[in-house]
Amino acid sequence: MMAGQYLRGGGFGVVGDIVMGVSGAMVGGFLFHQLGLSAGGGLIGALIVATIGAGVLLFLVRVIKPA
């Protein structure tokens, strides 16, 4: 998972990484919408939003449940 590489840590397994990635994309979309931000259209913009969202979600998961 790309966000996991930036936050340093182990993954959650294949299925867990997919679930975290999809959930992170939704979190990123919600955050960007609430803040009135746009990463541009297309695949690159979607990847940016999803990566930022997944990073935020991973950070929150690690704060709530430390390793």
> Token match 């390793």: residue?
67
- pTM of the full structure: 0.73
pLDDT, position 40: 83
Query: pLDDT tens digits, residue range 21-46?
Result: 899 889 999 999 999 998 888 999 98
23, 26, 40, 57, 65 from 11: Cα distances, Å: 15, 19, 28, 13, 14
Long-range CB contacts for residues 62-65, cutoff 8 Å, separation at least 24: 62/7, 62/9
> Token match 């992170």: residue?
24
